[in-house]
Amino acid sequence: MPDSADRFSGFAEQYDRVRPRPPQELADMLRQWAGVAEPSVVDIGCGTGLSCTIWPEVTGVEPSAEMRAIAARRGVRVVAGSAEDTGLPGECADIVTVSHALHWFDAARAFPEIARIMRPGAVLAAFDFDWPPAVDPEVDAAYREFEATHNALEAERGLRPAFAPKSEHLERLRHSGLFRHVNEVCLHMRESGSAERFVAVAASQGGVVALLEEGVSEDELGLTRLREVAERRITEQKTWWWTCRVRLAVR
């Protein structure tokens, strides 16, 4: 599997500045599912700690020293580790969260490790935001063109990693045999943003970062076109409508 820590190297500050935080309702739902009012929470692949902001206390696990440093500044207790080797004691978590990271994991090694740190009845929540947020139909169409362009360039240049499609997360969790119940729910969140941030979010994807580092221009990537449309249509702070897709697995 590709090394996500390397793929996002040198990009942590930008990542932290533009990526969305999860909705507070996610923490409320997970407490209810776990049946614990004050749960012990572990966030695997916590990055800069954005995904930890919904919890008063959480232990983050992150392989990138650059991202760990930002998470620590945010007040997160963060340890060096990976999904395949967290370094945490067994049965230490009531809730385990994974934000925008499950597709990077080596499932054959990571799922047993995640199950090992979960207490009986604990809940795993692997969640991603559906991209892009719903803002404007013309901006959405321009984003789809940009997405097709950068995906094709990644494949052409051999930069597209062989990670597991997010659409397969649910079945992979079910087929692991490690969880007694698996399901998927969607939560919805609204925030606001500018055209500048919309383009920055699009550019914060690992594949786009890799292509820019390879010397591909913003024109070739379709970022210039996306920026033109976004600046024309998002002339002020507009509401962004996000869908947060959550895969739930109960130990």
pLDDT tens-digit readout, 144-195: 999 999 999 998 988 876 677 888 999 999 999 999 999 999 999 999 999 9
- The pLDDT of residue 5 is 60
Q: How far apart are CA 89 and CA 217, in angstroms?
A: 46
The answer to whether residues 121 and 71 touch, using CB atoms and an 8 Å cutoff, is: no
For residue 13, pLDDT over 90 is answered with: no
C-alpha–C-alpha distance, residues 10 and 182, integer Å: 36
Give dist(CA 151, CA 159) in Å, integer: 9
**Which band of pLDDT confidence, cut at 50, 70 and 90, is reported for residue 9?**
low
> At residue 36, does pLDDT exceed 60?
yes
Average pLDDT of the segment spanning 217-243: 96
Determine contact, residues 231/29, Cβ cutoff 8 Å: no
pTM given for the model = 0.93
CA atoms 81, 19, 17, 31: torsion sign: negative
The pLDDT of residue 4 is 59
Q: Residue 206 — very low, low, confident or very high, per pLDDT cuts 50/70/90?
A: confident
What are the C-alpha distances in Å from 6 to residues 10, 66, 75, 142, 241?
A: 9, 10, 24, 29, 31
Give strand pairing partners of 190: 241
Per-residue pLDDT band for 1 (boundaries 50, 70, 90) equals: very low
The answer for residues whose C-beta is within 8 angstroms of residue 132's C-beta and 6 or more apart is 139, 140, 143, 198, 201, 202
For residue 133, the SS3 value is: coil
Domain of 146, CATH number, reads 3.40.50.150
| The total number of structural domains that make up the chain | 1
pLDDT at residue 245 is higher than 80: yes
Over residues 94-147, the pLDDT tens digits come to: 999 999 999 989 999 999 999 999 999 999 999 999 999 999 999 999 999 999
Q: How does DSSP classify residue 250?
A: E
Token pair 């440093």 in the structure block, residue: 69
Please give the Cα distance from 73 to 205 (Å, whole number).
23
- pLDDT above 90 covers a percentage of the chain that reads 85
Q: Say what the pLDDT of residue 3 is.
A: 55
Report yes or no: 83 and 25 within 8 Å, Cβ to Cβ.
no
The pLDDT confidence band at residue 2, using thresholds 50, 70 and 90, is very low
* Confidence bin at 8 (pLDDT 50/70/90): low
Average of per-residue pLDDT values in the chain: 93
Note whether 240 and 192 are within 8 A (CB). yes
CA distances, 81 to each of 27, 41, 47, 117, 201 (Å): 23, 16, 11, 13, 26
Q: Which domain holds residue 236?
A: 4-250
Q: Report the percent of the chain where pLDDT is more than 70.
A: 95
Helix (H) or strand (E) holding 128: strand 118-129
Mean pLDDT (whole number) for 20-47: 97
What pLDDT is attached to residue 90? 98
Q: What is the pLDDT of residue 186?
A: 97
